[in-house]
Amino acid sequence: MSTPNSPVQPTSSAPAASSVPTTGTTGTTSDGPAASAGAGGLVSDVELTSSSSPVAATDIATDTDEAAAPGRPARSLRSVLVRTVLPVALVLAVIGGGATYATVAAQDADRTVPTVTWGSLTPAGDDPAADAHRGRTSTPLSKLLLPVPEGYRLGPDVEEYGNDDEISGARAATVLKGAARRELTSKERRVFDRLVDSLGLEGLAARSYASDDNDLVVGIEIVRAKNKRQLRAMYQQRMQYGELTKARKGPKIEGHPQSFCQLAPKDSVVDEDGKATGLDGMLCAAYTGEVLVNFRISGTVPFKKSAATALVKQQLDHIASPGEYV
């Protein structure tokens, strides 16, 4: 399994804080998927509970190997973390489905199978908020995202699309179906399209956060769909996926029983040669009854687990009581 702590080799130069964006940026909406599997990965787990009612679950992971370009100065580990790791990890299409599911379901509707990697994302519009440095609040879904707290700033851009994005349910469905068309046969695409349609997507919102010390980067994605049963199944399947990938048990989030965190597997914090990458990570998810929330957290070693956990709790508290925990 690829994880947020992708095998990026650190260099020894000092952190370049000026090279990291401190405010959100947005792009313009395109007509097709804005990212390919090579740029960012969506790992999806799908459980088919009946031949007519597929239940989807999903998560994001990444695998990147960024090397300094010839003639360019080497970057520090913290600079690599903020500039490279999360932009690849934060994929806005956090919903169910995937090529593996469609491939198997097209052959045998009674089988259950996890895992496929692909992804795409789409930009949101301009944020009219006066305090845009804390994140957009122009829509009901964006208001559920935690405003940037003290000690953090808006994080790195996701590709060229910015660090504070939202897409409509219809757009999310279009993006997913378009991305899948590059991966699947025509029969598999029909299965996958039905899966996406069954979710009744209403919207996706995402925001990235970077610590002022440049040693922790957090991506938070919120998905809303009409089919709450699907959302709950996505959450449950995500927990099961951690067992398959040998993820380490993470901390509990106080006050939020329908949440969990998993630390990156030990073998994922080294590169293919067995050398330490200097990065670690944690994946968290929560189901609130209305939305599914995914967290993708990357950090330098030693990993600030307590700080990461505190931010997860802040986000879930904010959803429970908007405006009280900001």
Task: Answer whether residue 19 shows pLDDT above 70.
Answer: no
Give the pLDDT score at 131: 66
282: which strand partners?
263, 297
> What confidence score (pLDDT) does residue 123 get?
45
pLDDT in tens, 255-270: 999 999 988 887 766 6
Tell whether the model's pLDDT for residue 198 goes beyond 60. Answer: yes
* The dihedral formed by the CA atoms of 84, 89, 90 and 93, expressed in degrees to the nearest 10: 140
Neighbours of 168 (CB within 10 A): 17
Reply yes or no: is the peptide bond before residue 302 cis, omega within 30 of 0: yes
The conformation of residue 299, written as its DSSP 8-state character, comes to E
In the predicted model, what is the mean pLDDT of residues 96-123? 34
Q: DSSP label at 83? A: I
Residue 111 has pLDDT above 60, yes or no: no
Q: What is the pLDDT of residue 76?
A: 55
What's the whole-number average pLDDT of the chain? 64
Alpha-carbon gap, residue 189 to 184, rounded angstroms: 6
Pair of tokens at residue 154: 């808006």
| pLDDT attached to residue 182 | 67
- String of DSSP letters for 111-177: --EEEEEE-----------TTGGG---SSHHHHHSPPPPTTEEE---STTS-SEEEEEHHHHHHHHH
Distance, in Å, from the CA atom of 119 to the CA atom of 41, rounded to the nearest integer, reads 5
32 versus 157: the higher-pLDDT residue is: 157
Token pair, residue 26, equals: 């947005």
Q: Is residue 151 over pLDDT 60?
A: yes
Helix (H, G, I), strand (E, B) or coil at 270: strand
Q: Is the pLDDT assigned to residue 81 strictly greater than 80?
A: no
Q: Are 94 and 42 in contact (CB under 8 A)?
A: yes
Q: How far is 179 from 141, CA to CA, in rounded Å?
A: 24
Asked if pLDDT for residue 234 goes beyond 90, the answer is no
Q: Is 236 helix (H, G, I), strand (E, B) or coil?
A: helix
Q: How many beta carbons lie within 10 A of that of residue 156, not counting itself?
A: 24
DSSP notation for 19-69: GS--S-------SS-S--TTT-EEEEEEEESSTT-EEEEEEEE------PP
More confident residue, 90 or 308: 308
Do 261 and 250 form a contact (C-beta atoms < 8 A)?
yes
Q: How confident is the model at residue 9 (pLDDT cuts 50, 70, 90)?
A: very low
Taking the CA atoms of residue 250, residue 255, residue 259 and residue 264 in that order, the dihedral angle to the nearest 10 degrees is: -20
- Say if CB 66 and CB 58 are below 8 A apart: no
Of the listed ranges 57-61, 158-162, 311-315, the one predicted with least confidence = 57-61
- With a pLDDT cut of 90, the percent of the chain lying above it is 17
